[in-house]
Structure 1
Amino acid sequence: MSPGENLDPIPDTFILQPPVFHPMVPYVTTIFGGLHAGKMVMLQGVVPLCARRFQVDFQCGCSLCPRPDIAIHFNPRFHTTKPHVICNTLYYGQWQTEARWPGLDLQKGASFLIVFLFENEEMKVSINGKHFLHYRYRLPLSRVDTLGIYGDILVKAVGFLNINPFMEGSKEYPVGHPFLLYSHRLEVPCSRALPQGLWPGQVIIVRGLILQEPKDFTLSLRDETAHVPVTLRVSFADKTLAWVSPWGRKKLISAPFLFYPQRFFEVLLLCQEGGLKLALNGQRLGATSLDQQALERLRELRISGSVQLYCVHY
């Protein structure tokens, strides 16, 4: 982006907050756009061998004095005979009634992935891919704008994401795909094999950061003959996003242009009978047609261009 160039106005729902790697604890950060139903916060880390307790607070502000209200206080404790989690709410300096969950599946010295899923009436928490608890809101979720992490914890990564928009109405607990597991291993261009092709219901997830001086960005799916029946291309020159046919024809996708330098992005492709649906930063944007036989013949996912990749999952 050249000096003086302004970003196009983007709806808040399209803007994603970049992940944070290896923050020092205590760690406090603003949650871009606040919390709302349909948002997830992912926490990757390690429980130290000497850990007694740590806490993750979803706060209504970040002042030191007076202390802000804490809508959701998530507090694993290891110093008791039976490790457990306490959840609570701090309102006008007073803690409310504690809610306690035994059977904590966090081990000292072990890595973990915690996913906080925010729904209309309650927060759900999964630990290492398994649902652990749900906690009903005692303060409006709309008041939460700050995340605080304190205590005996080594944080590897914090991610802020939207629920997969293609899972609408599903009862399945959404799975968070870690950032850090991939962030130091993915080189660009990136190629991933699809040994069994694509099948209905499969979702391809690509997360990353646009580099400082971007030139191009392309996501393509290739078949066994190296033919490229599906290409998603970002043009930084004219700020467009388009499907490109095997014959070079472009079909523009009507959406705000989100691919600016140092901005985080998430691309989701859902395979269904008749083609692929696209979502960008948690918002559905349309589809491209492809028959089922062509989808099953796809054997390679390739990503190239001016991006740092954090996650490629399918």
Structure 2
Amino acid sequence: MAKVFEVKNVDLNVGAKLMIKGKISDNASMFCIDMGKDSNDLALHFNPRFHDTPGSVIVCNSKRGGCWGSEQRDPNFPFKKGAIIKLAVKVLGDCFKIELPNSHIVTFPNHLSLKKITYVRVKGDFKVTSFKFE
């Protein structure tokens, strides 16, 4: 069963950074980090997929009023099943910058133009062991 870690009433403003540490499941197929106003309005959906076509890929997207936008795909995939990893998500006015375990940066536009993130969810084949804001 997929794990879900959800925090509501967060107060992440422009310039803030979310730091997440956790363990990827040994038989992982995917996990995601969602940030936005609520589960129907996500400014960032960060979704590493271990078994996508044609292979492993990071998919980023946004959701407005329950409707998904256009996917952005990044083939840089530093994730390994069973690994303990750290991720950092920087909230900028016009975009999000996600620092991956190999120091590669994924940048995704803030299509919802949110100035404050109030909702964070981590779900899938990933167990959160540390979660903090800077």
**TM-score, L = length of structure 2:** 0.89
Mapped partners of 1:110, 1:86: distance in 2: 20
Structure 1 position 71, deviation (Å): 1.2
The SS at the match of 1:130 is coil
Query: Which residue pairs with 2:119 in the alignment?
Result: 146
Report the equivalent of 2:13: 36
Aligned alpha-carbon RMSD (Å)? 1.8
Structure 1 equivalent of residue 48 of structure 2: 76
1:228-253 Cα shifts (integer Å, max 9, x gaps)? xxxxxxxxxxxxxxxxxxxxxxxxxx
Once residues 153 and 51 of structure 1 are traced to their aligned partners in structure 2, the CA distance between those partners, rounded to angstroms, is: 8
Name the residue aligned to 1:137. 110
Q: CA deviation at 1:129?
A: 5.6
Q: After TM superposition, give the deviation of residue 47 of structure 1 in Å.
A: 1.0
Give the direction of change, closer, same or farther, for the CA distance of 1:31–1:125 in structure 2 (3 Å limit).
farther
Equivalenced residue count is 132
Q: CA deviation at 1:130?
A: 0.4
Q: Determine whether 1:114 maps to 2:92.
A: no
Q: List per-residue Cα deviations over 1:142-161 (Å, max 9, x = no partner).
A: 25301011111121111111
CA deviation after TM superposition for structure 1 residue 110, in Å: 1.0
More strand per residue? 2
Cα deviation code 1:109-147 (max 9, x no counterpart):
111110001122111111126033101110022253010
Matches within 5 A, 1:46-195: 46-61=23-38, 68-80=40-52, 82-128=55-101, 130-161=103-134
* Structure 2: 5+ residue stretches without partners: none
The 8 Å contact of residues 86 and 100 in structure 1, kept in 2 or not, is answered as: yes
SS where residue 58 of structure 2 aligns?
strand
User: Which residue matches 1:264?
Assistant: none
Segments of structure 1 that go 5 or more residues without pairing to the other structure are 1-23, 62-66, 162-314
Which structure has the greater CA radius of gyration?
1
Q: In structure 2, what is the Cα distance between the partners aligned to 1:113 and 1:50? A: 19
* Paired letter, 1:54: F
CA contact (8 A) 2:50 2:57 kept: yes
Cα pair 1:113 1:129 within 8 Å, conserved = no
Match of 1:26 in 2: 4
Query: After TM superposition, where is structure 1 displaced by more than 4 Å over at least 4 residues in a row?
Result: none
Tell me the distance in 2 between the aligned counterparts of 1:59 and 1:90: 9
Greater RCO (CA < 8 Å, at least 6 residues apart):
2
TM-score normalised per structure 1: 0.40
Instruction: Determine the C-alpha separation between the residues in 1 that align with 2:70 and 2:16.
Output: 26
Offset from partner CA, 1:154-176 (integer Å, 9 cap, x none): 21111111xxxxxxxxxxxxxxx
| Contact 1:82–1:103 (Cα < 8 Å) also in 2 | no
